[in-house]
Amino acid sequence: MQSMGILGSAWPGVIDETLDVGERQVRVLRAPARKGAADGTPQLLIHGLGASAVTWVEVMPGLSATGPVVAVDLPGFGQTTAGPDDALTVDSYVAFVLEVADALGWTRFDLHGNSMGGLIGVLLAAQQPERVARLVLVSPALPPSHPLRLLLPARATIGGMAPLVASTTTAAALGLVGAGASFDERRNRHLLRLIFTDPDGVRPELIDLMAQEFADTDDQVVAGRRRALRTALRSIAALWASPRRVLRAIAAVEAPTLMIGGTADALVPAKVLRQVLRSRPDWVGHVLDDRRHALMMESPEEYLDLVERWGEELQEAV
């Protein structure tokens, strides 16, 4: 790996690096395991559609208490450039995440996935049960059991999406957490409210970091991001329109699984998460009142507490 230095003074334990994955340079953020945890299970963190590795930065130092942590930019998002031959579909991202794990030398790892990253995590865990030790899903982009339910959005969905309908790309993007120069301040604020209950309570350093992810003006990079957003979104829509494959994957997951969501999430309705939990009563689930789409950003302390307590319960059950 090539280090590009510490991410910022607000996150002194997080290192910004590039990782060689095949012939591609991939941007990753890394938090080395804390003292005494070097032999702990490594943790791979996968962001949502339109997002990047920085969505995990608030919890990476805390997670490193139990093992090494890496958050990765998927191709077409963040600082990992989309190649002309990249499929940029959910399935291609499943394969890519496995390539990243191989490049890191991780044969078995915990996987945390937010939004589209959660959908990727479910498919990967179902396909490669020997690779995924534990699975943490944060507002995962999982489909309702019947596609007609997509026509009956929850109140939180209607309220959250209404200010954004003027931009169809933005309105449809599960997990979009940043905005380019084409978005005005008012649109930015509505966008932040999809992620944060109270944007004014978010650390300014985090908002600045998110904005920096979209500051690149290179035409090729911007075009790649737009293509990734459109193509990945179509891929998610296809899986939602015919959900049988994802539902089979949910049933096939063998890894102990923790699923976290919120009742105020405008992108992944709480009723979908509750439906999944009914189908997998062995999964531990928390659908939290008044929480939105990315708990690890909105309330990192709460996220770390839930993950830590779940880990302790798994240890006690052994």
> What would the pLDDT profile of 215-268 be if each residue is shown by its tens digit?
766 788 888 888 999 999 999 999 998 899 999 999 999 999 999 999 999 888
Strand partners, 9: none
- Mean pLDDT on 50-76: 96
Average pLDDT, the chain: 85
CA-wise closest residue to 265 among 287, 243, 281, 248: 287
**281-298 burial by CB neighbour count: b if 16+ within 10 A, else e?**
eebbbbbbeebbbbbbbb
Task: Extract the tokens encoding 74.
Answer: 């998927």
User: Is pLDDT larger for residue 209 or for residue 110?
Assistant: 110
**Candidate from 37-41, 46-50, 216-220 with smallest mean pLDDT:** 216-220
Using DSSP bridges, classify how beta strands 2-6 and 257-262 pair: parallel, antiparallel or unpaired: unpaired
Angstrom distance (rounded) from CA 198 to CA 208: 16
Domain 2-317 is found in CATH 3.40.50.1820: yes
Angstrom distance (rounded) from CA 44 to CA 25: 17
